[in-house]
Structures are given as structure tokens and as C-alpha cells.
């Protein structure tokens, strides 16, 4: 599995040739209990990944989740309990927390965006601006927060962007080449930056028209121009401060790279609560 490869690389990165501190304090016979707690309010994500981290370190560790991915967790709440070899808990600690903290940060931001857009009937989706090699985890976290995924990779759907248009010569030429090559079943999305380009995309019979880096006022004009003849997606520069204004323009979809490319991690900590030897 892709996730297993990512976790294994992360463990190799952190453990290197071993844990020089823990290996020289504890023996494999030392056992302990530990808990992971939220140090701030958050939407939890990454529990299955954390379980796999600890089980790759030591399959005999007892992993007891007290919360599930997607749960709203308050500061101070315990989200999971661990029991087993002290060495194994300490060796998996940082890697498990790194995954959980990033994924919970994405899930928390996604929940805020989705909740803000819900009254307007606008769908919030992510982009491909994800951490390299961690896209599946980033996009899973978006779903846990209540938003949805845009394409996972370049092979998932047709999106004709500015550089495609520049290289092909025009929107019409790029769309024509796609239709000639792939047939009638896939939907075709075209990126536009001006109202004139929106008109060109409509004339080319694009299924989805992306409004790239338009202001909320420009987006509202474009939505009126499209008038239901295509799905309208707003993208580019969307953040929490302007999200409501873009929602008021009444597009069908708003995509935001901010959900994954610069979201702050949420704070969780692991504490040993009892030594069992």
C-alpha cells in the first residue's frame, strides 16, 4: 500500500540506526501506558495512520482509539491510549504525531471552509497543492473535515489550464484536440481568467469553467454569463477572509489550495502515564 510506504520512509527518517536515547535507558522488557491528548480544539484525523505507525514499530502494541477521524475534539481530551513496550511507544511517538498533527490541521481547516460555504449551497474542494508523496493522506484529511476532493492526479480528469491554452493557441483549439482524442465521456474543464475567455469556453462547450483569480465581483458576472450552461468553479487566492464573498457570487464549486499547501498543524502530545515494570 502507498500509505505503508510513506509511513516506512517516515520511520526510517526518524529512527535512522535506532533511538540512541531510549535504547540506552530501557530494555525490551520495560512496559508502559501512554495517552495522546489534544492540546487545542481540532477536528481529528490520522488515527488509522498512527495505528499503522505503532504497529510497524511493534505489532504487539495495544492501540485503543477513544475518538474517530472526523470527530470534533476539545482541548485536553484524550484521543487514544497505548500500552506495550516502552521502547516501541517512544520510537513511534514523533512519526505518529507528525502525521496526526498535519492531517488534523487539514481536517480542521476543511471543516471551517465547508461550514462557511454550506448556507450558500457551494461545494468546497481541494487542489493538487499537497505535500509531495502525501497527497492521498492530505486529501483524505480534507474529506474528514467535510470538504471534497478535486482530481487526485493528472490522469483523473481533463483540465485545460493557461499553459495548455497558450501552447495550443486558443481555448477552442485545445478543447477541439481533447474531444478528438478522448471521445465524449470525460467532462472537460477549462481555466479562464477573463469574461472573454469564459465566452470562449462556453462556445467550445466546456462542461466546467474555472474562474481563475477573479475578484468576487468578476466571478458574480461570470456566473451570470454562464447562466447554468456549465458548472462554474472559482479558484485562486481563496482563503477564509474572502470565502464568503466568493460564495455570494454563487458558483457551484470553490477550490482552495489553502486547505493543504499552508495549513498549520494542530497540536497533539503523547504522555507516558504509567510504567508497568
DSSP for 83-139? EEEHHHHHHHHHHHHHHHHHHHHHHHHHHHHHHHHGGGTPEEE--S---TT-HHHHH
Catalytic residue among 75, 161, 205, 229: 161
Catalytic residue among 126, 212, 233, 266: 212
In angstroms, the CA 99 to CA 53 distance is 9
Check if 233 is active-site: no
In angstroms, the CA 257 to CA 28 distance is 44
Q: Assign residue 183 a region: left if phi > 0, alpha if psi is -120 to 50, beta otherwise?
A: left
Catalytic residue among 94, 136, 148, 199: 94
Catalytic residue among 37, 67, 112, 129: 129
Write the CB contacts of 238 (distance below 8 Å, at least 6 apart in sequence).
Answer: 246, 254, 255, 256, 258
Q: What are phi and psi of 176, to 5 degrees?
A: -60, -40
Check if 212 is active-site: yes
Can you tell me which residue has the cell 497543492?
A: 129
Check if 224 is active-site: no
Task: Supply the angle between the helices 2-15 and 135-145 in degrees, to the nearest 10.
Answer: 110
Catalytic residue among 69, 126, 191, 233: 191
Can you tell me which residue has the cell 466546467?
A: 208
Helix (H) or strand (E) holding 264: none
Extract the C-alpha cell encoding 43: 477536528
Q: Which residues are catalytic?
A: 94, 129, 161, 191, 212
Amino acid at each position: 500500500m502507498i500509505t505503508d510506504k510513506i509511513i516506512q520512509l517516515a520511520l526510517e527518517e526518524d529512527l535512522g540506526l535506532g533511538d540512541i536515547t531510549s535504547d540506552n535507558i530501557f530494555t525490551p522488557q520495560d512496559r508502559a501506558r501512554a495517552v495522546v491528548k489534544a492540546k487545542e480544539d481540532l477536528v481529528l484525523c490520522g488515527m488509522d495512520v498512527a495505528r499503522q505507525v505503532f504497529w510497524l514499530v511493534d505489532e504487539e502494541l495495544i492501540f485503543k482509539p477513544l475518538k474517530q477521524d472526523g470527530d470534533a475534539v476539545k482541548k485536553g481530551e484524550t484521543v487514544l491510549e497505548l500500552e506495550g513496550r516502552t521502547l516501541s511507544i517512544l520510537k513511534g511517538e514523533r512519526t505518529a504525531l507528525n502525521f496526526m498533527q498535519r492531517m488534523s490541521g487539514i481536517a480542521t481547516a476543511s471543516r471551517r471552509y465547508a461550514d462557511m460555504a454550506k448556507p450558500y449551497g457551494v461545494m468546497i474542494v481541494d487542489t493538487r497543492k499537497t505535500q509531495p508523496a502525501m497527497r492521498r493522506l492530505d486529501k483524505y484529511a480534507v474529506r474528514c473535515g467535510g470538504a471534497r476532493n478535486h482530481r487526485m492526479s493528472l490522469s483523473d480528469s481533463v483540465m485545460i489550464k493557461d499553459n495548455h491554452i497558450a501552447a495550443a493557441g486558443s481555448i477552442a483549439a485545445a478543447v477541439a484536440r481533447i474531444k478528438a482524442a478522448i471521445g465524449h465521456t470525460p467532462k472537460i474543464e477549462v481555466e479562464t481568467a477573463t469574461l472573454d475567455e469564459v465566452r470562449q469556453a462556453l462556445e467550445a462547450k466546456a462542461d466546467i469553467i474555472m474562474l481563475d483569480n477573479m475578484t468576487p465581483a468578476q466571478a458574480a458576472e461570470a456566473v451570470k454569463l454562464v447562466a447554468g450552461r456549465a458548472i462554474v468553479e472559482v479558484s485562486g487566492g481563496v482563503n477564509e477572509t474572502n470565502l464568503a464573498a466568493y460564495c455570494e457570487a454563487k458558483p457551484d464549486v470553490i477550490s482552495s489550495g489553502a486547505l493543504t499547501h499552508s495549513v498549520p498543524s494542530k497540536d497533539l502530545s503523547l504522555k507516558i502515564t504509567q510504567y508497568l515494570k
